[in-house]
Structure 1
Amino acid sequence: MAGTAVTPVRVGASAVPYGHAIGNEKWRGTELAQLIQGKITLVFEDGLGLVDFHLSNRACILYVSEADIVAGNTFRRRLVRFRKACSLKGITIVEKTRLSEQYFPVIQKFIVLELGMVILPVTNKAEAAQLIIHLVQERSRERLSNPFSRKKSHQLREAHVLQTVQTIPGIGKVKAQQLLQHFPSIHLIANASLTQLEAVVGREIARNVHMFFTRT
């Protein structure tokens, strides 16, 4: 992509207006762009680098397609470069299809646990378009609501963090909630000692959690 080596991430010439998203020029004329346009205002710009869509000057979307996953690890390198280049809130939309779902648990662990980013699985471009529209519209609604209330803005992220913790062997929803109550982020869970984990979920499950984060 032109300019990627010089500018890995660029937000655009100005802040993203409410009700708008800034899309990478490569998406112009695609099925995804056509599904989004009209529901919100989608503006295209060159030189956004690694980012596919900017939702605001603080949050953006990186899109990983079924083809990206099957092709190999190029998408992983792109996500790592993004994470190293900036502190934007990165939301990764991943196509979880019948062909790619076998890779999803590993991809989920990589994106959420190693990179600290949100992962949102979709089955097709239509579902991805609805998700992007929802995120943009939610941002606009938050602007009109109490600006001191952050509960809504965290709900989507919290749901997927909870979902990720539940991928640990032996961890259901209740145990996942208990862990997150004591260790509010996956990073804290990953760095907790076996003794600290045992105090929350018991010895057997604590060992599962500890092994999940320490095994190579």
Structure 2
Amino acid sequence: MTTKANFPVAAGSIVVPYGHVIGNEKWRGSEIAQRLQGKIRLIFEDDLGLVDFHISNRISILYISEADLVAGDEFKRRLVRFRNASSLGGIIIVEKTQISDQYFLAVQKLVVLELGMVLLPVANQGEASQLIIQLVREQSKDHSSNPFLPKQRSQLVEPSVFQTVQHIPGVGKTKALLLLQQFGSIHQLCNASVEELELVVGQTAAQQIYTFLGS
């Protein structure tokens, strides 16, 4: 179901009803909106600024499409403004396709290493809608257990960070799990020496990781 929001949506005072998503008006009629209908309650608002979707009072999403990536550097400015202007937890969804693949590595480094936000690649809007539904359901599970615990956000972000680490050259699911268990965060991983990485993933993978994170 899609309706118009009638409650506060200003930055820092966003109110997202339980089990809902607030979407930017520009997404009305899109494939994402159509696929979300019937799965969650989607409410549109035309005053969200840079934010594309709010999935909770604290978590917002910025969507970077294939067209955004090939059009130039404007999406980079959007990312920086999004990071600087919002106190909310930011998740960046990026379309990684055959056309945009050549730009993805640079975007990943900007989002994860320089801006310190979570990046989730998707193939298309259909896959993005499934991801949003999954994130909302994770929030709902946290809400039903204890909405006041600080772990609410970490339970959302950790799987996202895990998926991001998997995209580092030389790292798959197993190595990503080992790295996060050892270093705890992407920030700590970036500061790790080759020797420290070797102890976790071996010499070859350690050198690949160190080169990628240090370049």
User: Would you say same fold, with TM above 0.5?
Assistant: yes
Tell me the number of residue pairs that the alignment of Structure 1 and Structure 2 aligns: 207
AA at the equivalent of 2:22 = I
What is the aligned partner in structure 1 of residue 134 from structure 2? 134
* Distance in 1 (alpha carbons) for counterparts of 2:105 and 2:141: 33
Alignment of 1:1-216 (within 5 A): 10-11=10-11, 15-147=15-147, 154=154, 157-194=157-194, 196-197=196-197, 200-201=200-201, 205-215=205-215
When residues 148 and 100 of structure 1 are mapped into structure 2, their CA distance, relative to the original with a 3 A threshold, is same
AA at the equivalent of 1:90 = G
Secondary structure of the corresponding residue to residue 189 of structure 1: helix
**Contact 2:119–2:164 (CA under 8 A) maintained in structure 1:** no
Shift of 1:109: 2.1
Shift of 1:29: 2.6
* Percent of residue pairs identical: 62
When residues 25 and 182 of structure 1 are mapped into structure 2, their CA distance, relative to the original with a 3 A threshold, is same
Secondary structure of the corresponding residue to residue 177 of structure 2: helix
RMSD: 2.8
Deviates more, 1:103-112 or 1:169-178: 169-178
* Distance in 2 (alpha carbons) for counterparts of 1:70 and 1:198: 36
When residues 88 and 42 of structure 1 are mapped into structure 2, their CA distance, relative to the original with a 3 A threshold, is same
* Distance in 1 (alpha carbons) for counterparts of 2:188 and 2:169: 18
5+ residue gaps in structure 1? 1-8
When residues 170 and 134 of structure 1 are mapped into structure 2, their CA distance, relative to the original with a 3 A threshold, is closer
AA at the equivalent of 1:101 = D
Secondary structure of the corresponding residue to residue 63 of structure 2: strand
Shift of 1:182: 2.5
**Contact 1:10–1:49 (CA under 8 A) maintained in structure 2:** no
* Distance in 1 (alpha carbons) for counterparts of 2:40 and 2:67: 27
**Contact 2:36–2:129 (CA under 8 A) maintained in structure 1:** yes
Report the TM-score when normalising by structure 2: 0.80
- CA-to-aligned-CA distance 1:89-127 (integer Å, 9 cap, x gap): 111111122211232222222212222212222222222
AA at the equivalent of 2:62 = L
**Contact 1:27–1:33 (CA under 8 A) maintained in structure 2:** yes
